[in-house]
Structure 1
Amino acid sequence: MSLLKSLLAATAVAFALPAFAEGITVHDPYARVSTAMSKSGAAFMQIENTGAVDDRLIAASSDIADRVELHTHKADDKGVMQMLHVPEGFVIPAGGNHALQRGGDHVMFLGLRQGLSHGDVVTVTLTFEQAGELVVDIPVDLQRDGAAMGQQMQHMHGAPAGMPPKHMHAPSN
C-alpha cells in the first residue's frame, strides 16, 4: 500500500463521524473482512436512540454484497458459538443504545462482490421501524482491536449541532 493510500485510510477511519436519523445516531461505524479476498465481511457500530420510544433496526442493505443480513452469535446447547440471522432485528431502547460489535450483534455481508481493503468505504442503508432509512458510509478498518470500540464509545462526542457529518446522507428518493 502506498504512503498516500495509507494516510488517506487512516484519515477516513480517524474522522468517521456520527450519522443521524430521527432520534437515531450511529457512532463509530467500521467494517472488517478476514482477508482482502473474503466472500463475507461484517460491519460494527454503536446505535443510539435519543427518542422517547423504542425503535428497532429491522434491515440493512448495500450494493457491496449479494445479501446483507442482521446477525448475532449465540451458544448452542453444547456451548459452541454459532452465527445466526436475526430477521426480527435489534431493539434500540428509548434513551439508550445498542452495540453492534464483534462476537455479538452485527451487520453481515454475504457474497461480497469485490475485495475490501483497509481504508475503503462501504455504503450501507440501515432501516429502522420508527426512524426509517439511514445511509451510512462505513470505513473498512482492518487494524482495529475488537475491544477498542467499547472504550472509544465511552469518550465519544457527537458532531456539533447543525453540522451533519459529510460521510452520512439521507437516502435519495
Structure 2
Amino acid sequence: MNISAPAIARPLFGSIEQRLGIFVLALTLLFATAHGLFAHEFKGGQLEIDHPWSRATPPGARVAGGYLVIKNKGGEADRLVSIQSDISDKAEIHEMSVGADGVMKMRQITDGVEIPAGGEVAFKSGSYHIMFIGLKAPVKEGGKFRGTLTFEKAGTVTVEFAVDKMGGQSQDHSGH
C-alpha cells in the first residue's frame, strides 16, 4: 500500500499576481460599462447634446425651463431651429439678456440659435434656454421627459431631460 502526502491546497485563481490581474480586469469592465449608465448625452450628425435637464415645478405651474449644452464636432455651423415636447403645449427658444438700462429681459428667439463649427452653445440660466409653455402636468424631481430638437442640418434629435430639484441653484450640468 502506497500512502502519499495530501495535495497542498492551491488558491482558487492561482497566484497573487493572477488574482490581482483578474481583479483589475473586473474593475476595468465595471467602469467601462458604468459610464453608459451615468452618461446623459445624445448625438445627431456632428452634434452632441450634453445633459438636458429641467427643474421640478410646483403644482399649477404653467411653464418650465430646459437647459443643455450643444457641441458641434463638425466643420460646418448648424442651427437649432425648434423644439417640441410631450409635457407642454409648446416649447420655445428664449434668451435672457441685460438691456442698456441694466434691466434683465427675456425674449423669444424665432430664427434659431447658431451652433458654430467646432464650438458649443450652453443653454443655461441667464442665457439661452428652452421654455416649455402650457405644462400638461407638474414636472417632478427625479423624473424624465422627452424633447425633440430640430436642427437645420442634423435634422431631429430626441433627447431626455432629467428633472432636478425645484428652485435654488441646481448643480452645474453644463461642464463649465
Where on the TM-score scale, by shorter chain, does this alignment land: which range? 0.7 to 0.9
Aligned partner (choices 25, 49, 66) of residue 89 of structure 2: 66
**What is aligned with 2:169?**
145
Bigger Cα Rg:
2
Question: For the residues of structure 1 that align with 2:94 and 2:104, how far apart are their CA atoms?
Answer: 13
Question: For the residues of structure 2 that align with 1:92 and 1:36, how far apart are their CA atoms?
Answer: 35
Question: For the residues of structure 2 that align with 1:61 and 1:125, how far apart are their CA atoms?
Answer: 5
Question: For the residues of structure 1 that align with 2:171 and 2:112, how far apart are their CA atoms?
Answer: 23
**What is aligned with 2:146?**
123
1:146 CA drift (Å): 4.6
Question: For the residues of structure 2 that align with 1:149 and 1:99, how far apart are their CA atoms?
Answer: 10
1:34 CA drift (Å): 4.6
Aligned partner (choices 97, 100, 105) of residue 123 of structure 2: 100
Q: Tell me if structure 2 keeps the 8 A contact 1:16–1:29.
A: no
Question: For the residues of structure 1 that align with 2:171 and 2:85, how far apart are their CA atoms?
Answer: 26
- The 5 A counterparts of 1:22-171 are 22-142=45-165, 145-146=169-170, 148-150=172-174, 153=175
In structure 1, stretches of 5+ residues that fail to align are 1-13, 155-173
How many residues align structurally? Answer: 139
Q: Tell me if structure 1 keeps the 8 A contact 2:47–2:73.
A: yes
Output the TM-score relative to the length of structure 2: 0.73
Aligned partner (choices 44, 49, 65) of residue 21 of structure 1: 44
Output the amino acid matched with 1:59: S
Question: For the residues of structure 2 that align with 1:147 and 1:73, how far apart are their CA atoms?
Answer: 20
Output the TM-score relative to the length of structure 1: 0.74
SS at match of 2:121: strand
Give CA-to-partner distance per residue, 1:4-30, whole Å, 9 cap, x none. Answer: xxxxxxxxxx82521000001111211
Question: For the residues of structure 1 that align with 2:171 and 2:161, how far apart are their CA atoms?
Answer: 18
SS at match of 1:149: coil
Q: Tell me if structure 1 keeps the 8 A contact 2:57–2:138.
A: no
